[in-house]
Structure 1
Amino acid sequence: MAEKYDLIVLGSGPGGYVAAIRGAQLGLKVAIVERELLGGICLNWGCIPTKALLRSAEILHYAQNAKDYGLRIGGEIEADLDAVVKRSRGVAAQLNKGVTGLMKKNKIAVHMGEGKLTGPTSLTVKGEKGEEKLEAKHVIVATGARARDLPFAKADGERIWTYRHAMTPKEMPKKLLVIGSGAIGIEFASFYNDMGVDVTVVEMLDRIVPVEDKDVSAFLHKSLTKQGITIMTGAGVEDIKADGKGVKAKIKDKDGKVSESEFSHCITAIGIVPNTENIGLEKLAEMEKGFIQIDPYGRTKSKGLWAIGDCTPGPWLAHKASHEGVTAAEAIAQELGNKDVHPHPLDRRNIPGCTYCHPQIASVGLTEDKAKEAGYDVKAGTFPFIGNGKAIALGEAEGFTKTVFDAKTGELLGAHMVGAEVTEMIQGFVVGKTLETTEAELMQTVFPHPTISESMHESVLASYGRALHI
């Protein structure tokens, strides 16, 4: 006899477990199926533990540059790789326990094992209890994604790494090749560079972090190069050979010249592959390049079957998955008769992106170029951190804030930031965009002094030729 629920969530990442909690809050009988660890990749192997690693690298950087702050620290300052990794894993374990507690608090049944759909609203789970049969009125697929391998050099965990291997290294690399300059590639390049590793980044496109505004890309390229990272844009890795001693890579540069270089290790950060194979989706959902196609609320083509997160079209970000999870759970509750819930479709234009390299970058909305391509008459302004008192006092005067407006209506089209703590500040612009703000409201907003956030205000003023401190 199959166990029956109102909602079953397949996958417990930041989309899945949040969807389950929201469903339970709305009075649904909910189960969640997870094959590995509650919290999924983000909590256990992605967003959170990588930030713990980057925090260790940041502290090391400050300690090594203490003299810049008028401080003396005696003795040699060096990284203890095992201790750094142990701290990161401890952070992940603490949060995993937290999600486990949230499941109990919200009376969500947890089924550990491999889940496979047998229909739009039914599945089997093979795991610690043998094979279980589950049924529900609705099912949400939240199976996430995994790192994409190079076709000619699959990750082996020894010399060729994905992000998972890079988080728990058996040894500190001496010379590291990072293939790809998206958020994952740049974060690991920044981390290992701060830890004293010789790092080279190879990016196929003509600039690093190519989804960002070109001014941010140029600034970050200059900053990382100054920190000692070798960056090759418009370049590609054509072949890799790994052995017990290291990695030999054939790299074609932007001029078409191919050369062979040796590295101790290599990280591949060339994108993701959705975890949608072999889970029974073949006849149940419309697929495109492995990603499940959904409507703005998460519905697939099969009634009762929903999907959210990294197994659906991008952007592939944890906070996007969580928001989709809430939206889908509320839409399901509404379909099941709850008249007090009113789900809103996700507006992808208002999803922020953050990269936790050094310096940090953060953005929301359209870049200046994308706004122009979309036909907008644009007003854009930039304010450098060197004109911000708090940034100078912190010794973090490297960076800027840039805003992009529709010249005709004053609508905030996009905001782009690089520098200290911009990943914390971007939310101000996200709230503004969600509230459909114009330059008038932002200009009239009082920003606290002294804060780096004042650069946000100044960038708005700069867009209209009114900046006060440059």
Structure 2
Amino acid sequence: MADNFDLIILGSGPGGYVAAIRASQLGMKVAIVERERLGGICLNWGCIPTKALLRTSEVYHYMTHAADYGLKAENVGFDLGKIVDRSRKVAGQLNAGVKGLMKKNKVAVYEGVGALTGKGKLSVKQGDKTTELTAPHIMVATGARARDLPFAKADGKRIWTYRHAMVPEVMPTKLLVIGSGAIGVEFASFYHDMGAEVTIVEMLPRILPVEDEEVSAFMEKQITKQGIRILTGAGVEKIETGADGVKTSIKSKDGKVAVEDYSHVIVAIGIVPNTENIGLEALGVETERGQIKVDGFGRTNVEGIYAIGDVTGAPWLAHKASHEGIVCIEKIAGKDPRPFETWNIPGCTYARPQVASVGLTEAKAREAGHEVKVGKFPFIGNGKAIALGEAEGFVKTVFDAKTGELLGAHMIGAEVTELIQGYVIARQLETTEHELMETVFAHPTLSEMMHESILGAYGRALHF
């Protein structure tokens, strides 16, 4: 006898569990299926525990530079086991929080491996037990996993994915990070601040390749100054693991191949959607390169089957998945949500320095045919930044010269991952330069740089 629901959600990451809550709020009887831990990769192995690690390395950096603030800190050190333990406890606390939210919202939780078995049908296997569920609406929110190098799969000992890099048993002495997206740069920043010698290899011409070119260039300059080695236009052709380390062959942009030894390697070259073996093929659900094809409301080509989050493609971000889930649920419930779009999703990198952006880069805006006005304001011109001892960075805004539309904003420096939301709200409200110029920003705050950047686009900057 099957358990019957209005909605079944396969996967409990930030897309799945948020969708479950919203569906419950709208009166649906909801089940959620999870094969590992509630909260998915983001909460347990991604967004949250990595930020706990990065907070540790930030504090450690300040401790080792205490003299810059007139302080003394002698014999500074760390306990790797306790660092990892703190990160896992943070993840555990939030996992428990999601369990509480499911109970509060009367969402039935099924632990096990789920798969679609027919129209409106899903089975959950846990050990020898199989439970059958039915619902007119089934949402796939199974997320993604780290992509392996085809010639050197992660072993958890010398070659790591992000999951291994979050629970190290030993601190790397000489670390190679392959890939310079947000994940690669964050781990490079963490391990460098904790004392490892770090090299980043990136096949493309610049690091953080999705960011504005000026941001990428500034980040490369800053972390190179810190001591991180960067090889762009380069690729790893071979990796051999041994008892004491890893031997790599790296082909540089000039075509030369160098053999280098490292203690560990982190592979951060992208992700693979978890769409295999969940019954999509039998139902005829359309996919492209493993990603499920959906419309602006999360609907697939098969009636009653929906998909959200990483399985539907870029940007692969938790907040994108959550918003997609809400839009999908409200459409199912007969509401009239705006179709989901990716034009106003912020991206954040929590390295040192931080990077945050939303909208079009200057280059993309010009490619799209816009005549642009660009404003840029440096941290060194901001009193709060100087007082914090964080005077490296800038805020850049891109406007349409004819309409005043805020096309994009790009920031690098201390706490910009918190500041970016101001620009996201401005774009959502379709604010122009006129309203932004007339907005009062508190003093002294880092946010004043946002105002100055806006003013600067129109030749009105006051402090630079």
Same fold (TM over 0.5): yes
The Cα of 1:127 is off from its aligned counterpart by 1.1
- Who is 1:143 aligned against? 142
The Cα of 1:333 is off from its aligned counterpart by 1.1
Do structure 1's residue 232 and structure 2's residue 231 form an aligned pair? yes
Question: In the aligned structure 2, how far is the partner of 1:242 from the partner of 1:26?
Answer: 53
Q: Deviations over 1:340-393 (max 9, x none)?
A: x33221221100000000000000000000000111101111000000000000
Question: In the aligned structure 2, how far is the partner of 1:224 from the partner of 1:396?
Answer: 14
Would you say the 8 A contact 1:153–1:240 is kept in 2?
yes
- Who is 2:427 aligned against? 433
- Who is 2:181 aligned against? 182
The TM-score normalised by the length of structure 1 is 0.98
Question: In the aligned structure 1, how far is the partner of 2:119 from the partner of 2:284?
Answer: 6
- Who is 2:115 aligned against? 116
Do structure 1's residue 450 and structure 2's residue 444 form an aligned pair? yes
- Who is 1:338 aligned against? none
Question: In the aligned structure 2, how far is the partner of 1:229 from the partner of 1:319?
Answer: 30
Question: In the aligned structure 1, how far is the partner of 2:363 from the partner of 2:439?
Answer: 27
> Structure 2 counterpart of 1:410, which letter?
G
SS state at 1:277 partner? coil
The Cα of 1:120 is off from its aligned counterpart by 3.8
Question: In the aligned structure 2, how far is the partner of 1:71 from the partner of 1:460?
Answer: 37
Structure 1 residues 83 and 406, CA, compared in 2 at 3 Å: closer, same or farther?
A: same
Q: Deviations over 1:276-320 (max 9, x none)?
A: 001000143110100000000100000110000001121000000
The Cα of 1:217 is off from its aligned counterpart by 0.2
Question: In the aligned structure 1, how far is the partner of 2:284 from the partner of 2:461?
Answer: 55
> Structure 2 counterpart of 1:250, which letter?
S
Q: Deviations over 1:432-463 (max 9, x none)?
A: 00011111111010000000000000001111
Question: In the aligned structure 2, how far is the partner of 1:206 from the partner of 1:30?
Answer: 47
Could you tell me which runs of 5 or more consecutive residues in structure 1 were left unpaired when the two chains were aligned: 335-340
The Cα of 1:95 is off from its aligned counterpart by 0.3
Do structure 1's residue 463 and structure 2's residue 457 form an aligned pair? yes
The Cα of 1:61 is off from its aligned counterpart by 0.4
The TM-score normalised by the length of structure 2 is 0.99
The Cα of 1:129 is off from its aligned counterpart by 7.5
Do structure 1's residue 343 and structure 2's residue 337 form an aligned pair? yes
- Who is 1:332 aligned against? 332
Would you say the 8 A contact 1:235–1:252 is kept in 2?
yes
Q: Which runs of 4+ in 1 moved over 2 A?
A: none
Could you tell me which runs of 5 or more consecutive residues in structure 2 were left unpaired when the two chains were aligned: none
The Cα of 1:40 is off from its aligned counterpart by 0.3
Structure 1 residues 159 and 319, CA, compared in 2 at 3 Å: closer, same or farther?
A: same
Q: Deviations over 1:11-59 (max 9, x none)?
A: 0000000000000000000000000000000000000000000000000
RMSD, matched Cα: 0.8
Structure 1 residues 120 and 350, CA, compared in 2 at 3 Å: closer, same or farther?
A: farther
Question: In the aligned structure 2, how far is the partner of 1:344 from the partner of 1:88?
Answer: 37
- Who is 1:34 aligned against? 34
- Who is 1:337 aligned against? none
Question: Superposition pairs for residues 42-61 of structure 1, below 5 Å?
Answer: 42-61=42-61
Q: Deviations over 1:53-88 (max 9, x none)?
A: 000000000111111111112x31112111100000
SS state at 1:117 partner? strand
> Structure 1 counterpart of 2:328, which letter?
A
Q: Deviations over 1:177-205 (max 9, x none)?
A: 00000000000000000000000000000
Question: In the aligned structure 2, how far is the partner of 1:349 from the partner of 1:451?
Answer: 28
SS state at 2:5 partner? strand
Question: In the aligned structure 2, how far is the partner of 1:157 from the partner of 1:72?
Answer: 38
Question: In the aligned structure 2, how far is the partner of 1:134 from the partner of 1:31?
Answer: 9
The Cα of 1:137 is off from its aligned counterpart by 1.2
> Structure 1 counterpart of 2:203, which letter?
M
> Structure 2 counterpart of 1:47, which letter?
C
Do structure 1's residue 5 and structure 2's residue 2 form an aligned pair? no
Q: Deviations over 1:224-271 (max 9, x none)?
A: 001100000011101111111111110011111111000000000000
Would you say the 8 A contact 1:119–1:284 is kept in 2?
no
Question: In the aligned structure 1, how far is the partner of 2:133 from the partner of 2:243?
Answer: 47
Would you say the 8 A contact 1:120–1:139 is kept in 2?
no
Question: In the aligned structure 2, how far is the partner of 1:345 from the partner of 1:381?
Answer: 31
- Who is 2:304 aligned against? 304
Q: What percentage of residue pairs aligned between the two structures are identical? A: 69
Question: Superposition pairs for residues 122-133 of structure 1, below 5 Å?
Answer: 122-127=121-126, 130-133=129-132
SS state at 2:333 partner? helix
Question: In the aligned structure 2, how far is the partner of 1:279 from the partner of 1:459?
Answer: 48
Question: In the aligned structure 2, how far is the partner of 1:284 from the partner of 1:139?
Answer: 14
- Who is 1:15 aligned against? 15
Question: Superposition pairs for residues 33-432 of structure 1, below 5 Å?
Answer: 33-73=33-73, 75-127=74-126, 130-282=129-281, 283-334=283-334, 341-432=335-426
Would you say the 8 A contact 1:383–1:400 is kept in 2?
yes
Question: In the aligned structure 2, how far is the partner of 1:126 from the partner of 1:367?
Answer: 46
Question: In the aligned structure 2, how far is the partner of 1:223 from the partner of 1:111?
Answer: 47
Question: In the aligned structure 2, how far is the partner of 1:405 from the partner of 1:172?
Answer: 45
Question: In the aligned structure 2, how far is the partner of 1:160 from the partner of 1:98?
Answer: 32
Q: Deviations over 1:86-109 (max 9, x none)?
A: 000000000000000000000000
SS state at 1:423 partner? helix
Question: In the aligned structure 2, how far is the partner of 1:78 from the partner of 1:251?
Answer: 33
Question: In the aligned structure 2, how far is the partner of 1:364 from the partner of 1:386?
Answer: 23
Would you say the 8 A contact 1:120–1:284 is kept in 2?
no
Question: In the aligned structure 2, how far is the partner of 1:87 from the partner of 1:289?
Answer: 37
Would you say the 8 A contact 1:146–1:274 is kept in 2?
yes
> Structure 1 counterpart of 2:417, which letter?
T
> Structure 2 counterpart of 1:407, which letter?
A
Question: In the aligned structure 1, how far is the partner of 2:71 from the partner of 2:2?
Answer: 66
Question: In the aligned structure 2, how far is the partner of 1:149 from the partner of 1:358?
Answer: 26
SS state at 2:219 partner? helix
Question: In the aligned structure 2, how far is the partner of 1:120 from the partner of 1:325?
Answer: 21
Aligned residues: 463
SS state at 2:320 partner? helix
The Cα of 1:128 is off from its aligned counterpart by 5.7
Would you say the 8 A contact 1:56–1:84 is kept in 2?
yes
Question: In the aligned structure 1, how far is the partner of 2:447 from the partner of 2:341?
Answer: 25
